Structure formats: structure tokens, C-alpha cells
Structure 1
Amino acid sequence: MNGITPPHWHLLGAGHIGTWAAGHLLSAGHRVSVVRATDAPIVNARLIDADSGDETRLRLPVASPAALSAPLSHVVVACKTPFTETALARCLLAADATVIRLQNGVGTLDGRLPAGACLIEAVTTAAVKGQRDRHEIVADNETWMGGPAARPGWFAGLSEHWPGLQWTAHIRHRQWRKLVANAVINPLTALHDVPNGALLTETPLAEHAAALAAEADRLLARIDPTWPGDSLAGVQAIARATADNTSSMRADMARGAATEIEAINGWLLRQADTCGLALPAHAAIAEAVRRQSGRIRQR
């Protein structure tokens, strides 16, 4: 660790991705406590490598009310985006807290952190699925962390234990690449209840995907003239690589959970309003997801 003491992280959101991240942090000697409204003192979880079948059992302590009454210095926000405000309300952040945001979408922590906080954005191509305490790592690919702040001292040691972890000062384009993929694949597969690969094999869905990607590129190029565009190729590559998978939004809608549409397509629409740009395809699909999700949740 080069003489640097690994920090103690408080995890908001011990779902699939949050638990997967906790496993990597623990393997690097970092401490992890879960912030959760529960009487249970321990969160037991299993991380299973889908390829090898290797299993790692985690025992994550739940932070006590006394611990949460003091300002937290290191926090990982990995909860589903609709629950961000509720999760943050359970704890007090230090004025200079370091916060890793490991969520879909963009902008979910805007205006919600202390002015002196250091926000580290994280983007991953890892895929984790399962139920309850069983988290199956389908793909442990690349993960990028970064932002305007300098790379923290603990990062080098962490990267030795977190496969594919990299630091970049220019993370925005990587965020946007994932955002566009989510803004195309998630709502289409959720609305039509199809696996990701259907966007390649069903002509109406493929055409809809192309329209959504083109609109997103037009907006992002307006925001940042250096945006390279050509998002459709990336969307298709992800749909091809995950052809049999169920998107997170499709899974959320199927079980009547709140979707992340506001942090994904909703972010694009809010930026478009600021720029005076119309995104009719995104506006229509976001509204369709809201309506269908609302009907399902009322059943």
C-alpha cells in the first residue's frame, strides 16, 4: 500500500454492483460498512464467478446509528438512482468527503454533496446478476474512475486487486458512452420485454435504436464539440455481447420496481431543454416507460 492506510468506506446500496465493488475493496485491504435501514448487524453475501464457479463469501458490517452520527469521510454510492436521496439521508457526509458514484445515468449527486466534497465518477462494463445475497459475476471487465481531482494515493494499491481498474482525468466521454447505451437498450428492452439481442434481430427495434442513438449524439455534440459521435456502433456491440441478457430496466419493470429512466433518458432531456434542442424519440420513450412502469406498480 506504499505506506498509505486504506480508507474505511461506507457503502450506500449493497446490491449486485455495490457488493461486487465491496469485494474488490476488501481484497485490497479497505474496510467496508453498509449503510442500510435494518436491525441486522451483518450483511452476508456470496460473490460467484460465472466462468470458474469460484465463490467468495462476504460479511459486511452494517454501520450502527452511532457510527452514522459522525461525518463519513469515504462513501460509495451504488444504490439504484431513484433511491439516491433516501440513501444519502441516512448518513452525514464530512465537508471534504470522498464519494465514489457507481450508478447508472449522470448527475444523480448534483447538488447533494457538501461543497468541499471530492466526487469520483466510476464507469464499469462489469455485469453482475443474481438474487438477494447471491451475486453472480457474469463479466468482470474494465472499470474507470476519475474526475477533476488528482488521483488519490490509495488508488494504486486498489488497482492491484481490482481487475481492469483504471484512472482517467477525462471520464466524461466514457460516462456518456455508457449513458447512450443505457438510454437505448434499457427502455426498448423494458417496454417490449425482450433480451438485449432483440435490438439487432428485430427491424422495428433496430430502427428505433438508431433514432435514439442519433438524437443523443446530436445533443452531446452540442454540449461538447469534441464528442466523436457514432454511438450506434457501440450500442450494437454491447447488444451483441449481451444478446441473451436482461437489461436492468427490464428487470426493474418486471418486478414492479422504480426504473432509472430519469437518470438516463431524463438526463438527456434535461440537457436538451437547456440547449433548446428537441429529442422527440427520447421524450416519447421516457414517457412510455413512466406510463408502463406506473401501471405495473399499481397492480
Structure 2
Amino acid sequence: MSTSPFQPSPAPWFLLGAGNMGTLAAWYLRNADQAVTVLRRQGPARLDKTLCFADGRPAQALTLPVIAPAALRAPIRRLIVACKTPYTDDALAGLPLAGDLTVLRLQNGLGSLEGRLPRAATLIEVVTTTAVKGQHPRHEIVAENHSWMGGPATPPAWFATLARHWPGLAWSDAIRDRQWHKLIANAVINPLTALHDVANGRLLEDPALHAEAAALAAEADTLLRRLDPHWPGDSLPQVMAVVRATAGNTSSMRADAQRGAVTEIDAINGWLLRQAATLGLALPSHERIVAAVRARHPIGKQ
């Protein structure tokens, strides 16, 4: 990236969570000529990764420098939060965050950053239907679908350039609705597939699992209508469309459960239960499945 003395280089992005989605965001940002550095308290000085593409494009190498927070010489002004939600507090602990911090949040569920950022920080939520699988150092982009950013009233100056390098990326003035639609899909698909150790498509094939899915979706719609009377509801058909499109896939929560990692149940179904509690609303299907997942799989701290 070339700069003149009169055009200082933009603040670098620092990345928490160099998994599939964090790596994807870093790849697009680097293609848009923006610097990305991974934040880790210990480990190698760089991460060498390979991005593979299911559509047959040649694999691409991506090298990301790594720095320990204690070695930072200036406050962080741009941060990507892509770690699993149970690790959020530990990842943010002790970071020197600037008052004018801008954050891109690429995490499942909702509420993971509430009360954890400077008061004047700009939080940009990212919702994506792009599918990435694999583990470091190999990440396979299965399908580049649609992604949205939103939160502030207007997109930041750097967004237009990034959108030219991030396929399917758009700015959304209704990011909350997109988050809620994805939240319901995750709240149905993830815990059921994790608890029963099945691929997504099993929710279409098994009548009992389909009935559980319908109950979870209906309860979520009831809550979201209480939060916003304009919520359209009837989310089950959209959830089943996601199931059908990803029938052979393993959900992220099932993958976490299979390798004994903490699950994100508390940021997904748990968020719904916390909102319901403030309204005195019971969500018995969500209560049961959260209890079942917690009993069988760790959830970590939230």
C-alpha cells in the first residue's frame, strides 16, 4: 500500500479470533489493502494460512502477523471480534481500546459485546450467509453468498472500498432484522443438531426433530413480536429453507460439541431466554434445550 506524507496510512485492524470467519474477514480486508494483525497473548509471530475455494479457484496463501497485547505501543482503534462468544471476555481483557474504537463483530448470537466497549465506540454488526469450513491452517470457502454490515446510520468511509473486495457485501439499514432472522435459524438448527449429533438435513427428515424445530421457532417469534410488534413472525419456513440449503452440513455448535469445545448456546438461545425473562415470558422449549445442551456439553463463561 503506497501512501504520501499528506495521506497517513489508516489505522490497522486487529483481529481477535483467527478461525474460519476471522480469517475470511482478514482475507477480504487485506485484498482491500488494509493491514490486519492477529492479537494473541502467546504463540508464533505469524500465522500462515491457506484459503481454498470450493468453486475450483486456485488456493491462496495468507500470512497474518501476530502481536501480543502487551507489546502494543498505541491504543487499538480498529478491532475485529471473531472469537467464539464464550471467549469474548478473556479475549478483550486488558486490551488498550481507544475511545474512538471501531469494532466489526463477526460472532454468532447477540449481546456478547454489551457493556464491554468504550462508550463512544462504533459497533458494526456483520451478518453473513457465506460458508467457510476447516481449521487452521486450511480454510475452505464453500460458498460466497451474501454478507451485510450495519449499526451506524451511515457506512464508514472505508466501506465502499471493502465492498469491492468482499463478494456479496452490502450495507444494511435494517441489520437488527437480519440478525434476528439468523438468530432464529441458529437457535433452532444449532442446538438440535448438536444435541442429537446429526447433520442439518435431519431436521427435515425426522418428524420428532421437525416438531421440536417448529416449537423453537414459534417461541422465538412470540418473543420477538413482544420486543417489536412489527416483527413478521412465521420464521419456520425460512429456517427450513436454511436447513434444506445446508442439509449435508455440520452446524458450528455440533462441530464444537464433537471436539469437546465450549458451545455458544448462551449467546444464541440464552439471549432469547434473557430477553424473555425481562418480559416475564416463558419459553419452555428453549429452556429445555438449553438445559440439555448445558448438561451434555460445556458452555464456558459468558
* Partner residue in 2 for 1:15: 19
Query: Could you tell me which of 151, 155, 160 is aligned with 1:151?
Result: 155
Shift of 1:262: 0.3
Matched, 1:111 2:115: yes
Q: 1:162 aligns with which of 151, 162, 166?
A: 166
In structure 2, the CA distance between the partners of 1:152 and 1:39, relative to structure 1 (3 Å rule), is same
2:4 corresponding residue in structure 1: none
The separation in 2 between residues aligned to 1:264 and 1:227, in whole angstroms, is 18
Q: Are residues 1:139 and 2:153 paired?
A: no
Does structure 2 conserve the Cα–Cα contact (< 8 Å) formed by 1:82 and 1:260? yes
Larger mean CA deviation between 88-97 and 160-169 belongs to: 88-97
Q: What is the rounded CA distance, in whole Å, between the counterparts of 2:72 and 2:241 in structure 1?
A: 43
Hey, what does 2:292 align to over in structure 1? 288
Of 63, 69, 75, the match for 1:71: 75
In the other structure, the counterpart of 2:225 is 221
| Residue 244 of structure 1: aligned partner | 248
Aligned with residue 234 of structure 1, among 230, 235, 238: 238
CA distance in 2, matches of 1:275, 1:4: 49
**Which residue number in structure 2 is paired with residue 25 of structure 1?**
29
Other-structure match for 1:128: 132
In structure 1, distance between residues paired with 2:76 and 2:257: 33
Structure 1 residues 52 and 226, CA gap change in structure 2 (3 angstroms): same
RMSD: 1.7
Per-residue CA deviation, residues 98-140 of structure 1 (Å, 9 max, x unaligned), is: 0011100001000000001000011000111112210001111
Aligned to 1:193: 197
Match of 2:51 among 47, 57, 62: 47
How far the C-alpha of 1:52 sits from its partner, in A, is 1.1
- Whole-Å separation in 2 of the counterparts to 1:134 and 1:90: 30
Alignment of 1:34 with 2:38, yes or no, is yes
Distance 1:166 1:91, change over 3 A: same
TM-score norm. by structure 2 comes to 0.94
2:209 to 174, 190, 205: 205
> How far is the alpha carbon of 1:69 from its aligned partner?
4.8
The residue type equivalent to 2:17 in the other structure is G
Q: Which residue of 1 aligns with 2:279?
A: 275
Q: Tell me by how many angstroms 1:91 deviates.
A: 1.9
Aligned-residue identity in percent: 61
Ranges in structure 2 where 5+ consecutive residues have no aligned partner: 2-6
String of CA shifts for 1:60-114, please: whole Å, max 9, x gaps. 0002445435210000000000000111115211011000111000010000000
Q: Deviations over 1:140-183 (max 9, x none)?
A: 11110000342100000000010001011220000000000000
Q: 1:202 to 1:63 in 2, by over 3 A?
A: same
Question: Deviation digits for residues 250-283 of structure 1, max 9, x if unmatched?
Answer: 0101111000000000000000001111000000
SS at match of 2:297: helix
In 2, Cα distance between the equivalents of 1:155 and 1:143?
A: 13
CA distance in 1, matches of 2:229, 2:142: 36
Deviations 1:268-299 (A, max 9, x none): 0000001111000000000100001049x9xx
SS in 2 for 1:58: strand
Question: Does the aligned pair in 1 maintain the 2:41–2:68 contact within 8 Å?
Answer: no
Q: What's the TM-score, normalizing by structure 1?
A: 0.95
Aligned partner of residue 262 in structure 1, secondary structure: coil
* Separation in structure 2 between the aligned mates of residue 166 and residue 13 of structure 1, nearest angstrom: 23
Tell me which amino acid in the other structure corresponds to 1:85: D
Q: Which runs of 4+ in 1 moved over 6 A?
A: none
